Chains A and B, each alone.
Chain A
């Protein structure tokens, strides 16, 4: 009937949905089983600190003077 979607079109869409589902689930499952993606081993945090070299210093020069009289 005009204006209605034919049963063949619906069938095509259902088969397409089926194929996409199988391929999608299969791909993600395969990736997870092979360890790709994010794993616990990739998430870590820590701090290592070190101070290398001599600490900075600042030097000032001054003078003390006088004259000893005879």
Chain B
């Protein structure tokens, strides 16, 4: 049979090793283990979709030298809604309307106009009559149109003045409105 003293010694040695081990591991682990925090994020791609609620403007029959515009609602101006997820800048450019006076000309002009939703155009927009540029050199007509449903609609007013030497007949111009994320 094992002696009681030896048994007691083994118990003491076991306790010493256990406590010593815990102490040793605790010291060695200092700075090596701990709690770290991190960040989980996501990014929605910007959507710059605009919709031309009113896309066709027809001034009807006009006479030489006559001027007309859309500010009185006859005919209705271009009506644009930002259906995207970011504020957008909108540029405008168009093909020639008159054969006798190609763009840009005082006979074919544009400007930003307010709506019942947005009485005033965003700051930085073109709010005075400006000669319509060609498509290759567009001008920013609306600056920073928001995307919230309560303030995302704006008008583009158009003015025409028939040159006195313009040949009679039907006239048409294609207007290109391009929206990109506001800078």
Interface residues of A (CB under 8 A from B): 7-8, 10-11, 14-15, 17-18, 21-22, 24-25, 28-29, 32-33, 37-40, 43, 45, 47, 55-70
Contacts and interface: CB of A to CB of B under 8 A. Distances in A.
A11 B58 CA distance: 106
B61 interface: yes
Contacts, number: 166
B45 A56 contact: yes
Contact of B179 (A10, A57, A61, A69): A57
Nearest to B22: A25
Q: Which of A18, A43, A60: most chain B Cβ within 10 A?
A: A60
Contact of A65 (B28, B31, B56, B177): B56
B25 A25 contact: yes
Nearest to A43: B36
B48 A62 contact: no
By Cβ-Cβ distance, the 8 closest A-B pairs, closest first, are A25-B21, A66-B59, A62-B55, A43-B36, A62-B175, A60-B52, A70-B168, A57-B180
A65 to B, nearest CB: 5
Contact of B1 (A8, A60, A70): A8
Contacts of B97: 64, 66
